[in-house]
Amino acid sequence: MRADPAREAAPTLAQRLFQRPWFVALYDRARESRAAWLTCGLTFDAEAAIHAAALARAPGRRFLEIACGQGSFGIAVARRVPGARFFALDLSAAALARAGKKALARRVAGRYARVRGDALRLPFLGGAFDGALCVGGFHQIPEPRRALAEASRALRPGGVLAGACFCLGPALTRPFGMNALAPEEFAGWLRASGFERAECRRTSPIWFVFEAVRGARA
């Protein structure tokens, strides 16, 4: 039996903050503002276009958004990729509520279903999705390699995984309970999880985007 995420205490400071509606609202405004360029080296629209292009290469249009937060990127991709249908998963009820309001306001609510759940125990059958998106999630998930294995399980062979992560050192990540990731190391984790053509590209000194394809023998 899978654990009930609603009964599990968020284990990190970052996850506890994302349980607070005021913080989710603050982060949401900052993430879609021009200030995003300062950290990510990309405007929000430019980054959304990168992820949309990656998922448009998937073999179908049934997508999973892992650690969706306030839904910014999944909703942006849904608007850019015709026929895209998302299942958006997050531990935070506050973030999911804001994502729902945003999907309604941006007229994709019928193609953006929300699920409260854990990226380490995805509540979906294997091979259920054609693509998956995770922007800003893997550096916050306590066991990122396990989360990658779950993402691989949830994708069909040929499915596309796209997203982005911070690449900050331990001195900046440890106080928040986050992971210090490096693009080269992350690419290796992708391959070890059964992904092929794993590509990680820095867009700023502290941010990288990635894309990979699930292999037939994951």
State pLDDT tens for residues 20-71: 999 999 999 999 998 899 999 999 999 999 999 999 999 999 999 999 999 9
* Mean pLDDT, all residues of the chain: 92
Q: Is 91 exposed, middle or buried (0-12, 13-18, 19+ CB in 10 A)?
A: buried
The pTM of the full predicted model, rounded to 2 decimals, is 0.92
| H or E element in which residue 214 lies | strand 207-214
Q: Could you tell me what percent of the chain has a pLDDT over 90?
A: 83
Task: Tell me what the mean pLDDT of segment 96-110 comes to.
Answer: 98
* Per-residue pLDDT at 177: 78
Residues 6+ away with beta carbon under 8 Å from 165: 136, 137, 138, 139, 181, 186, 207, 208, 210
Domains for the chain: give ranges and CATH numbers.
Answer: 5-214 (3.40.50.150)
